[in-house]
Structure 1
C-alpha cells in the first residue's frame, strides 16, 4: 500500500518541480498540453491499478483514504473527474458461478463451490431459495454459503470421518475470533457487533470438529458464527455437537454435516452492523453409507431441550433449503 502512495506522490509532484516559465531549458520538451496529457495518462494508470487492487482486497480500502490521493495541487479530480470508489455490487463476487433455477415453488439458487466441491456428497452442491448477497467461502476443514443480508451463514458444511476426528484432539482451541476479511465490510459481522450484546458467538462448524491447525484457526471466523443464546450454546446445542461426533466415530465412512440458522420476521439484530439473530438452528447429519439422514431442529432459546430430530423432507418443507439435492423430491 505504501508503494502505491509513493508512486502517486511521485507522479503528482511533477507540477511542483516544473521549470519556471521565464527560465530557458537547454533540452527540448513536449508542448504544454501534451505534457499535461502524459501526466494524466500516467497518473490514471496508477490510480486504476490502486482502484482494482482495492476492489479485489476490500481491507485496503479501509487503509487508503481519498485524501491520500491528493498531493500538492494535483488532485484526483484533475485526472479522473468522475472517478469514485467501486460500489459494493461491482466488487468481484466470490460466488460468480451461482445461477438461478425456476420451480413451481419459487426462484432458487444453484450453488457451485467449484473450489471445494469435495465437501458435498456426490459433489452435489445445495440449491437454496434466492436471497440477496450470497457468497461462497471455502475453508480448510469446512465450507459455507454466507448471507450479506443477515451477516451470518446460510449453511456450513463439513465432511467428517473417524480418522479426521481422531486428529482433532491434537490442536488446541485458539479462541481468536476475527472478522472475515474476504467479505466486504458492509456484508460481514464485526467483533464489536457481538460485544455487550448478551449473545455468544455460536460456531456453526464447531471448533471441536476441526482436524487441522488451519481449520481450527479458521473456525473462529465470524462468517462461521451466529448470535446464539449462551445457555443454549453451552447446553442442548453442545450436546448435539458431541452426539454428532460420537456418531461419526462409529460410522463406516464419511459423514456430511450441515449446520445453519433460520430466521422469522421480524428479525432482531445485534450491534451497529445489525447482525441477525436466528429464531432456530439446525444440524443436518447425512450418512451416505447407510442412506440415513436426520435434522436436529432447535429454537435459539435458553429453555431448549434435546428432542427427537425431524426428517430431511420435513426440514426442506420448513426452510426450502435443498442441502442434499440428490435426495430432495
Structure 2
C-alpha cells in the first residue's frame, strides 16, 4: 500500500476490533497507511501501530442472502459473504434448488495466490440461515440423524452402509482452503455450499483434486473461475436387492429432499484463453469398478495423460471415489445446469 491509502477493518457480528492503543471499542474502523505496516487513526488509536496488532474479539459472522438473479431452471442464486457498514460483500455464490433443497453448484474464483492460504484456522459450525426453512439440516448430517434417514430407505441393510469408516460427511463445494484469509475460509461453512458426501471420497480423491488443482493453478499462473457442484442421486440396495435413491429428509408434502448426489464435479475455466475442463467423482463407495466405468459419461481425458501428471488421484479406488475428466462440451451433454460460457480449448 502507498502512504495515505486507507483500509476498512470490520469485526461486525458480535465482536469488536481489539488493539492495545484503542481509545474506545469499535466494530468498524478506517485506518490509513503511514508506510510499511504502520497504520493510524487519530480519532480511535492513541498512536500509530503495526498492522498485525489489529484483531477481532470474536470472528465476524458471515451471512447468506437470496438475490434476484436466477440460475438453472429458475432457481435463485444465493450469495455468501459479509456485511460491512450495511454493505454486503459476497465471497462466492451458489445455485440453490429450493424445491429439492440441494446445491447445484457454487461459483468462485481461484488465482495463483490462493495456494498461500492462511493456516491454523478453527473450523466453525455449518450454518443454514433461513435457506432450508424448517428442515433440521444439522440433525440430518449427525451420525444418528443420517443413519436413521438411510435406514428408512434401505431397512435392515443399513449396517452394511453406515459404518465407523464409511458415512456421510458435509462435503464442501467451495473448499475451505480455496480462500486465502480466515474470513473467507470460515464463510465456506454454509449449507448452501455443502452436500452429503461419503467420507472416504471426501478425504480421498476429492481432497486430492482440491490440493493438486490449487497447487497447479499456483504453478501455472492461471486465473480461473470454478464451478463446483453436484448432479444425479446416489443409490443403495435395500435388503430385497432393490436400488433405492438416497435422500436425508421427507418434507411436509411427503416429497424427498436433501438428496445424496451421485456425482460431485469441479469445472475449471480460464476465461483469458477460454480453456476449461471438468473433473468428476462418483459419490458412492458401494459400486464396483465395472459399474463405475459404466457411469462415466465421457472419454476420460486424464487417464494416462501426461498433460495431467500433476493430478495424483487414484481414479479406480472405490474407497477414495471413482474419478474421471471431461471436456466442457461433453460435460454439458449430461449436466444441463452449468452456466453458458465460450470454450475453445482444454485446460491442462
- TM class, shorter-length: 0.5 to 0.7
Is the counterpart of residue 287 in structure 1 residue 283 in structure 2?
Answer: no
Residue 292 of structure 1 and its aligned partner are, at CA, apart by: 2.1
Instruction: Note if 1:177 corresponds to 2:125.
Output: yes
Taking the TM superposition and a 5 Å limit, the aligned residue runs for 1:245-260 are 245-260=214-229
Aligned to 1:102: none
The alpha carbon displacement at 1:159 in A equals: 0.5
- Does 2:332 correspond to 1:325? no
Aligned-residue offset at 1:174: 2.7
Runs of 4+ residues over 6 Å off in structure 1: none
Residue in structure 1 matched with residue 138 of structure 2 by the alignment:
191
Paired residue for 2:211, among 239, 242, 246?
Answer: 242
Aligned CA-pair RMSD: 2.6
1:230 maps to: 199
Decide whether aligned partners of structure 1 residues 141 and 250 sit closer, same or farther in structure 2, where only a CA change above 3 A counts.
farther
1:95 to 58, 67, 74: 67
In the alignment, the residues of structure 2 paired with residue 135 and residue 97 of structure 1 have an alpha-carbon distance, to the nearest angstrom, of 6
Give ranges in structure 2 of 5+ residues lacking alignment.
Answer: 1-64, 82-89, 147-166, 235-243, 252-256, 286-317
Residues in 2 aligned to 1:282 and 1:174: alpha-carbon distance in whole angstroms: 26
Contact 1:261/1:280 (8 A) holds in 2: yes
CA shift, 1:248, in A, is 1.2
Alpha-carbon separation, structure 1, partners of 2:261 and 2:98:
14
TM-score scaled to structure 2, two decimals?
0.53
- Cα separation, 2, equivalents of 1:246 and 1:95: 33
> Which has the larger displacement, 196-205 or 288-297?
288-297
Name which of 296, 309, 328 aligns with 1:312. Answer: 328
Per-residue deviation, residues 108-131 of structure 1 (Å, max 9, x unmatched):
xxx4xxxxxxxxxxxxxxxx2x15
Between 1:253-262 and 1:267-276, the stretch displaced more is 267-276
Aligned length: 203
Deviations 1:221-259, CA, capped at 9 Å, x for gaps? 121110001111111111111121022102334111111
CA distance in 2, matches of 1:240, 1:173: 21
**Structure (1 or 2) with the greater strand fraction:** 2
Task: Determine which of 102, 124, 134 is the counterpart of 1:152.
Answer: 102
Superposition TM-score, scaled by structure 1 size? 0.55
Partner of 1:269: 247
- The structure with the largest alpha-carbon Rg is 1
State the distance in 1 between where 2:136 and 2:277 align.
30
Residues 143, 156 of structure 1: 8 Å contact kept: yes
Q: Which deviates more, 301-310 or 248-257?
A: 301-310
